[in-house]
Amino acid sequence: MRNRSVSIIFGSLILWAVATYFLFLDQQSVGKDQDKDKLANQISRLEKQVKQQIIINQELLEGINENKRLKKEYERINAALQLKDDTEKNKDKKHEVNKNKSILLQKIESKNKKILENEQEPTQDTILSTEGTHNTPLRQKLPDGSPIIAILVVSCNRITVERCLNQLIKLRPSKEQFPIVVSQDCDHRQTADVIARYGNQLLHIKQPDQSDIEIPPKEKKFRGYFKIARHYKWALNQVFLKLGYSTAIIVEDDLDVAPDFYEYFLGTYPLLVNDSSLWCVSAWNDNGKAGLVDEHAPHLLYRTDFFPGLGWMLTRDLWLELAPKWPKSYWDDWIRQPEQRKNRACIRPEISRTRTFGKLGVSNGLFFEKHLKYIKLNEQFVPFTKMNLSYLLKDNYDIAFVNQVYQSTVVSYSELKSGNIVAPGPVRIPYYTRQSFKNTTKLLGLMDDFRSGVPRSGYRGVVTFFYNGRRVHLAPSANWSGYDITWS
């Protein structure tokens, strides 16, 4: 019994040991599975945390970049504000200096007025102080409301500029109303000496750029036209942008002027600034030769589609329009192109208020011997400022002009020349082709060329002149529809 109990106990122990062993193995397996699950969960949580951290880092990076951008923007704005403050301070200081300088110059000018007016050999200091008074004109109009119109004399190497300047100074009614600015190119010492002798009667400025100009090989012989265009641009910028004038009359250094030169431009000034269909007033009649104008009608004025030049008035607004596209050469033909003219017209006189005496120049006397030297210069004073010139406004002018032209009697050249015309009043000679126009103009002594399809002195295709005691219209058909640029 005892042995059996021992056996049972021993067997139970063995069974317990075996059961414990398998139980232990089972628990270890479960532990491993739990560890795997735990590890997987930890990896999953870590992955999520990494992703979240990446997102956070990106947001932080973007925030840093935005802060940098904002900081730069802030610094830029702050610098701009600082610059503005400095500029305003400088302006205030400059204004105060200019104010004090202006008062001082007025005192000096008042004290030495008689000396300056009579001085024939001005010192360099006098010229510089005079130039300073022109730099910033205080008014564009006189106290009585009259316009201030600058006279820009374009000069180069002609000492005969003296002839032009003497007339301009002698005839001008007011130094304050018509300040003369002589712009000199070419750096010609003798011409500069002549201009300097006028002292404070004018402002002498010099075109600083005397460098060579790049010119296409085929146009080397036209170098002068390139220099003239460059000079005009610089000079007009000086008059309108630096000196601040709102209106100017351009005069070449080889022009004589009529006794009523200033009166003519004063009288037509209101037309130019009030009629948007006008863009210049010219003192020149391209067909103004003696025998082709009515010398008893110096008061007559016309509209013309052809830009005449040779003493012409323009506004600063027009210059601001033209300056950005100003050509490198042949500026006068360029300005006659449709893109510049834009269907605008100029005022021109029956009898010219200027006449050229410059035979020699960049054109080598072109047209001078044959035509220019015969231009009639007006000798009578016409009180244009006291006349009603509203008939020259487009709405008034076009109706009356068309009626006069196309209601006039049609005649031939032979009838006009012989004077065998019974009907009174103006007459008309028709033309229908470019060649017929040229044939007739040569017979009459008119200029026969076209620029951008427009004949000289023409308006609506009509060239008006005076011949053998008659007002004559060389005119296209009544249904004329515009200029043909191929006629040039």
Q: Is the pLDDT of residue 215 over 90?
A: yes
> What pLDDT is attached to residue 77?
47
Reply yes or no on whether 332 is catalytic. yes
Homologous superfamily of 150-376:
Spore Coat Polysaccharide Biosynthesis Protein SpsA; Chain A (3.90.550.10)
Burial 72-103 (b: 16+ CB within 10 A, else e): eeeeeeeeeeeeeeeeeeeeeeeeeeeeeeee
Lowest mean pLDDT among 76-85, 317-326, 407-416: 76-85
Lowest mean pLDDT among 10-24, 65-79, 111-125, 203-217: 111-125
pLDDT digits (tens, 9 = 90+) for 185-195: 999 999 999 99
469 compared with 360, residue with greater pLDDT: 469
Burial 131-162 (b: 16+ CB within 10 A, else e): eebbeeeeeeeeeeeebbbbbbbbbbebeebe
> What pLDDT is attached to residue 208?
97
- Which residue ranges make up each domain of the chain? 150-376, 405-475
> What pLDDT is attached to residue 287?
97
Please state, in angstroms and rounded to a whole number, the distance separating the CA atoms of residues 21 and 205: 119
> For the chain, give me the number of helices (H) and strands (E)?
13, 16
Lowest mean pLDDT among 50-54, 202-206, 410-414: 50-54
User: What percentage of the chain has pLDDT greater than the value 70?
Assistant: 70
Most confident of 68-82, 364-378, 434-448: 434-448
* DSSP letter for each residue of 414-462: HHHHHT---S-S-EEEE--SHHHHHHHHHHHT----EETTEETT-BTTB
Of 344, 358, 350, 370, the closest CA to residue 441 belongs to 370
Catalytic residue among 294, 332, 398, 448: 332
383 compared with 132, residue with greater pLDDT: 383
CB of 344 within 8 A of CB of 279? yes
> What pLDDT is attached to residue 10?
59
* pLDDT mean over 357-365: 65
* pLDDT mean over 252-270: 98
Amino acid in the structure at residue 83:
L
* Partners of residue 462 on adjacent β-strands: 459
Cα Rg for the chain, rounded, in angstroms? 44
471 compared with 106, residue with greater pLDDT: 471
Under DSSP, is residue 183 helix (H, G, I), strand (E, B) or coil? Answer: strand
> What pLDDT is attached to residue 152?
98
* pLDDT mean over 283-299: 97
Chain centroid to CA 357: 29
Q: In what order do the strands lie in the sheet with 409-410?
A: 409-410, 427-430, 470-475, 463-467
Which two tokens mark 235? 């000079």
> What pLDDT is attached to residue 477?
96
CB of 389 within 8 A of CB of 303? no
Please state, in angstroms and rounded to a whole number, the distance separating the CA atoms of residues 66 and 68: 5
Please state, in angstroms and rounded to a whole number, the distance separating the CA atoms of residues 231 and 237: 10
> What pLDDT is attached to residue 135?
46
Q: Is the Cα torsion angle 146, 235, 206, 229 positive or negative in sign?
A: negative
Return the axis-axis angle of helices 161-171 and 261-274, rounded to nearest 10°.
80
Beta strands in 198-241 (DSSP E): 203-206
User: What percentage of the chain has pLDDT greater than the value 90?
Assistant: 67
CB of 158 within 8 A of CB of 165? no
Q: Is the pLDDT of residue 107 over 60?
A: no
* pLDDT mean over 417-427: 94
> What pLDDT is attached to residue 38?
53
355 contact partners, CB below 8 Å, separation of at least 6: 255, 256, 375, 376, 377
> What pLDDT is attached to residue 87?
47
> What pLDDT is attached to residue 96?
45
Same fold, 150-376 and 405-475: no
Q: Is the pLDDT of residue 319 over 90?
A: yes
Q: Which CATH number fits domain 405-475: 3.90.245.10, 3.40.50.300, 2.60.120.10, 3.10.180.20?
A: 3.10.180.20
pLDDT digits (tens, 9 = 90+) for 135-163: 444 458 999 999 999 999 999 999 999 99
Lowest mean pLDDT among 79-83, 196-200, 300-304, 388-392: 79-83
> What pLDDT is attached to residue 140?
85
Which two tokens mark 468? 């053998």
CB of 453 within 8 A of CB of 484? yes
CB of 146 within 8 A of CB of 176? no
Taking all residues of the chain, what is their mean pLDDT, rounded to a whole number?
A: 82
Q: Is the pLDDT of residue 4 over 80?
A: no
16 compared with 163, residue with greater pLDDT: 163
> What pLDDT is attached to residue 100?
42
Rounded to two decimals, the pTM is 0.72
* Partners of residue 204 on adjacent β-strands: 182
177 compared with 75, residue with greater pLDDT: 177
> What pLDDT is attached to residue 32?
47
> What pLDDT is attached to residue 33?
47
Q: Confidence class of residue 428 from pLDDT cuts 50, 70 and 90?
A: very high
H or E stretch at 49: helix 2-111
> What pLDDT is attached to residue 368?
79
Count CB atoms within 10 A of the CB of residue 215. 16
pLDDT digits (tens, 9 = 90+) for 320-343: 999 999 999 999 999 999 999 999
Residue 224 phi/psi, 5-degree rounding, is -60, -35
